Chain A
Amino acid sequence: MTEWRPPLALVGAWLALLGLLALTVTLAYVPLGAGNAVVALSIGTIKAVLVAAIFMELRKRHGLTLVFAAAGLFWLGILLWLGLMDFMTRT
């Protein structure tokens, strides 16, 4: 009766996510200037990638599923890029 045990990958991902959470909260209190925002968003991205790859099983998927998963992000990029362009270049 071992079939109910979670695979190691899931446990590892969970522990890694909690570790990254602790790390990002700690680093938020270290003065890095503009670096704080970069660190916070980078660690956030790593956490999101972990969730997507392991919990959402994207690492086992290929082709169309990956395209669909990437499409939302790509269009989000368009929205942020062209949307912010106006505000960044106002004179």
Chain B
Amino acid sequence: MSITIKNLVKAFDRSPVVKHFDEVFEDGEFITLLGPSGCGKTTILRMIAGFEQPTSGEIWIDDQLVSSEKTLVPPEKRGIGMVFQSYAVWPHMTVYDNVAYPLKIKHVDKDTIKQKVERMLKVVHLTNYATRLPSQLSGGQQQRVALARALVMEPKLLLLDEPLSNLDAKLRETMRFEIKDIAMQMKIGVVYVTHDQTEAMAMSDRIFLINNGVVQQSGTPEEIYNRPVNQFVADFLGKVQFFKGTAENGEVNLTKWHCKLDYPEMTYSGAVEVAIRPENISLSRHDHGYNGVIEKKYYLGDTTDLRIRVGEDLVRVIEDGFTYNRYDIGDSVHMKIHDFIVFEDAGDTDDQLRIRT
């Protein structure tokens, strides 16, 4: 099942929530709509599901027009499975009945229902809970019921609306991979909505980063992470620090650091903003680059998070865990910058043009 979305716009009472969306999701792709709260990602998802109607634009499933200003194929006719943020597991039915519901609607015979439901429960590891009521289940278990229910009718497409946001950290991680595995096993396309960028990066084939109703960038996790097209994207994914500077003749001058970065391919000259990810800075005692003084250090087990004082700035550096014991607070260190991204400094983060990276 492929989803084609053309010039999608959605406004509630004249204020636009989705300003423009024009994409194609291929069959079997794992797509994530990523962005901060209120950016419009849930609205797009609900339009794909059929719960909202576009103000203008079209949505096609395979070669059938399902949503437009004038048409709206109802959700029950789209053959799409959906998992809600609040799980929406029906409290008056047992786990078995919840999962069996979509099949019962289609008047599938009892035996087939039993077979399919049991299989699904196995997939989500809830076989022993078939007769329980949702009130007797934990959050994670309820979420898995919702998942099983959405999958039992073997849809071609699965929509998930922030399904893991109510779970604790460890469970979130486990479920993340489970969902991805199931999707791959069953060869189902997924459109996944979340504001957690780690989740997005771990699971997606492609990520659409949305802000204020407009897609900022779309691409594979690696693309978006390493080659953000503007400050918003750079900032949203991973950690990043911005420094002002000037560009001139293939060199970038970081104003406050009094350091120069070589950037031979750059043709632009003028004010720039340089984005540096903390993991792209390494420390050493030897004179590699620019120096500063360690002001704080935090031990995170697998990494060490440090703050280096350079003039007025406090630069963030992330090194491996062993680094923690190698340096003390107050030590003078040298930093080497391995990678950076340069943006034209036009003031407003949202409309930055990418230059080159």
Chain A bound to chain B: no
Q: Which residues of B contact A (CB under 8 A)?
A: none
Q: Which residues of A contact B (CB under 8 A)?
A: none
